[in-house]
Structure 1
């Protein structure tokens, strides 16, 4: 599952610095990124035939657009986060959502944190969705990354005529690469961080909220079908308790 942000504050895409851009410059001097052939991903991740079909049916192309590192954005190194890659994924015309297994395959193939920018194929209404995994190194094998969950923004409309400064915001000011990773991930989380809250604590709270929402939905469905009045009253009390727990966890 990819957890989508429910924050009331509209998502604003990040403006990544040209110093971190990859590829050959176009006629205007803007680097165009490096195209990643699907075959290269297959060789690295060895996906099943079914997953390969997802790539074929959903992905038009994948562009490695930026490499965020100490050397490209002048941010101090971190032991656990060395680089963050920015991948642009162009969807095919008949695809309106990217299957999580595509992202998992990419994250398996590339031992680095990846910030995905997914673009639809609608020329009249171009949109962007950003996705990132909570991804950490395997304690037993540091060359392998463990993906715990994915988080995404809502689909955001893009202007037909690009005006980067009006529709993006600069990268946050951070102390090191781990701080940048945390802020990029937090921009996609459905619940904002509390003061002084660590990223793992915030994610644990979000997981607990998700479980409570699931229980609430299930209990409300059971209450609607329940015939006995006394049982309905009992369920209503349980529903109110769950709502109170949710409000408490959502509080900043």
Structure 2
């Protein structure tokens, strides 16, 4: 599961946008390239998928564009503790609109979404960002103010990021920055593991140098107000 957003987020979806339609899991098998192993995950992890809300010009009076014609809200009820990102991706790829998921597990829920590009024939799905688990009856916040659906979509995704965005930074550029940070975190963890078992002093010194170098770069990537030295 991806890193959780800094602040718990549950949105209060407009009643006028309520859609309330259950989507059979077989629909995602029919319209998506779902391999056998992933189908098993659908069966094991998902109890029900509900197309809960449709945020569109005719429901909330915000203009859509070709990049964000509508925003759909899907509620995924789990059988077990959670649902995998690859299952969410399979659902996401079958629907040619941006989707915001609410994953519901018993009396807790989390909001999760990835930036979705509709410009290609097959939608491109970015990194998933999520809130932490919250009580299902937790207080919900109003939707962010926006002039149109692309602005609303950007604001929703921004609320799910695990770090604050920088001045003038879009979700797309923040995602690239966070992906670089995750890569560096993996590299640092691998170097630290090697360091613990390295017997040669000169090699230990070099490993520490590499760890320190990468840590400085990582700090710059996650700093919400970077200096010109980054």
Match of 2:18 in 1: 21
Cα distance change, pair 116–76 in 1 and its aligned pair in 2 (3 A): same
Q: Does 1:171 align with 2:143?
A: yes
Q: Which blocks of at least 5 consecutive residues in structure 2 are unaligned?
A: 225-230
Alpha-carbon shift at residue 229 of structure 1 (Å): 2.5
Q: Decide whether the 8 Å contact of 2:100 with 2:111 is kept in 1.
A: yes
Match of 2:184 in 1: 212
TM-score (norm 2): 0.90
Alpha-carbon shift at residue 82 of structure 1 (Å): 0.6
Match of 1:162 in 2: none
- 2:108 pairs, out of 102, 124, 127, with 127
Q: Decide whether the 8 Å contact of 1:21 with 1:66 is kept in 2.
A: yes
Q: Decide whether the 8 Å contact of 1:77 with 1:177 is kept in 2.
A: yes
Match of 1:12 in 2: 9
CA distance in 2, matches of 1:79, 1:250: 32
CA distance in 1, matches of 2:24, 2:163: 36
Q: Which moved more, 1:65-74 or 1:221-230?
A: 221-230
CA distance in 2, matches of 1:183, 1:213: 27
Q: Does 1:145 align with 2:123?
A: yes
Does the residue aligned with 2:67 lie in a helix, a strand or coil? coil
Q: Decide whether the 8 Å contact of 1:5 with 1:191 is kept in 2.
A: no
Match of 2:43 in 1: 56
Alpha-carbon shift at residue 6 of structure 1 (Å): 5.5
CA distance in 2, matches of 1:209, 1:65: 34
Match of 2:82 in 1: 97
Number of equivalenced pairs: 224
Match of 1:250 in 2: 222
Q: Decide whether the 8 Å contact of 2:127 with 2:175 is kept in 1.
A: no
CA distance in 1, matches of 2:85, 2:196: 33
Matches within 5 A, 1:102-121: 102-121=87-106
Q: Decide whether the 8 Å contact of 2:5 with 2:129 is kept in 1.
A: no
- 1:76 pairs, out of 63, 85, 110, with 63
CA distance in 2, matches of 1:199, 1:152: 14
Over the aligned positions, Cα root-mean-square deviation in angstroms equals 1.7
Match of 1:25 in 2: none
Match of 2:170 in 1: 198
- 1:184 pairs, out of 156, 180, 185, with 156
CA distance in 2, matches of 1:145, 1:71: 24
TM-score (norm 1): 0.83
CA distance in 1, matches of 2:101, 2:146: 20
Cα distance change, pair 6–46 in 1 and its aligned pair in 2 (3 A): closer
Match of 2:197 in 1: 225
CA distance in 2, matches of 1:245, 1:224: 22
CA distance in 2, matches of 1:171, 1:103: 22
CA distance in 2, matches of 1:218, 1:49: 33
